[in-house]
């Protein structure tokens, strides 16, 4: 909740600080993303992650990684290679101007959340860091795939590669199931 508020305020500050057309441009670019990620960043297909309300810096970083080949995916590599650096900044501004909040399934005990992950990804999957993505309500297939990509070296990140290196398939499955069970709410920026 606190995080959702911070994000909402962050979104407002962003809208205030950046030229208005950035968000409008970003919304236009998001037209290319909507079939998979939705216009509000709530994914429409199970293999695509929710991106609404993610930190702007994280979104820019990942899109740039797909564009430069540091992260690879048959769909996203094609999409990102067609975006200019300005379009990347604008579309990231659009999605990050949304706010994300999450709740655990009824009866779930936050104390049972994966201990190794909560300091950065939260108990309910809302990130505690500007550099880390939300995991709430991502499909277990998506989370599983990413953790195995970090483990095999297909995707690299100094923190996540080290964490994933020691995870068993069963642990990966259990963490993926925990975060996939959260419910995610994405709220569009005001006036959009």
Q: How far is the CB of 185 from ligand HEC (least distance, A)?
A: 17
CA distances from 133 to 118, 167, 181 (A): 12, 19, 16
Q: Which of the stretches 8-16, 42-50, 104-112, 183-191 binds ligand HEC when contact is defined by CB under 6 A?
A: 42-50
165 binds ligand HEC (CB under 6 A): no
Contact 181, 174 (CB under 8 A): no
Which residues, at least 6 apart from 9, have a Cβ–Cβ distance to it below 8 Å?
A: none
Q: Which of the stretches 3-11, 12-20, 101-109, 126-134 binds ligand HEC when contact is defined by CB under 6 A?
A: 126-134
132 binds ligand HEC (CB under 6 A): yes
Q: How far is the CB of 132 from ligand HEC (least distance, A)?
A: 4
Joined together, the tokens standing for residue 48 give: 């695509």
35 binds ligand HEC (CB under 6 A): yes
26 binds ligand HEC (CB under 6 A): no
18 binds ligand HEC (CB under 6 A): no
Which residues, at least 6 apart from 179, have a Cβ–Cβ distance to it below 8 Å?
A: 117, 121, 125, 135, 136, 137, 138, 143
- Best CA proximity match to 48, nearest among 152, 188, 142, 161: 142
- CB neighbours of residue 141 within 10 Å: 12
**15 vs 80 by CB, closer to ligand HEC:** 80
Point out which residues bind ligand HEC (CB under 6 A). 29, 32-33, 35-37, 47-49, 51, 59, 61-63, 73, 75-76, 79, 83, 91, 114, 116-117, 119-121, 131-133, 135, 143, 145-147, 157, 159-160, 163, 175
């Amino acid at each position: 909740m606190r995080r959702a508020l911070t994000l909402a305020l962050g979104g407002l500050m962003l809208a205030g600080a950046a030229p208005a057309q950035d968000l409008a441009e970003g919304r236009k670019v998001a037209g290319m993303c909507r079939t998979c990620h939705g216009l509000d960043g709530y994914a429409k297909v199970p293999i695509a992650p929710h991106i609404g309300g993610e930190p702007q810096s994280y979104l820019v970083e990942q899109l740039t990684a797909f564009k430069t080949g540091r992260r690879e995916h048959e769909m996203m590599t094609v999409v990102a290679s067609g975006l200019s650096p300005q379009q990347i900044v604008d579309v990231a501004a659009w999605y990050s101007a949304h706010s994300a909040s999450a709740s655990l399934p009824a009866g779930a005990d936050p104390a049972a959340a994966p201990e190794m992950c909560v300091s950065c990804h939260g108990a309910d999957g809302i990130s505690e860091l500007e550099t880390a993505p939300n995991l709430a309500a991502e499909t277990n297939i998506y989370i599983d795939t990413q953790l195995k990509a970090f483990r095999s070296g297909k995707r690299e990140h100094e923190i996540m590669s080290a964490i994933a290196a020691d995870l068993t398939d069963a642990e990966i499955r259990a963490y993926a199931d925990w975060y996939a069970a959260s419910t995610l709410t994405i709220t569009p920026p005001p006036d959009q």
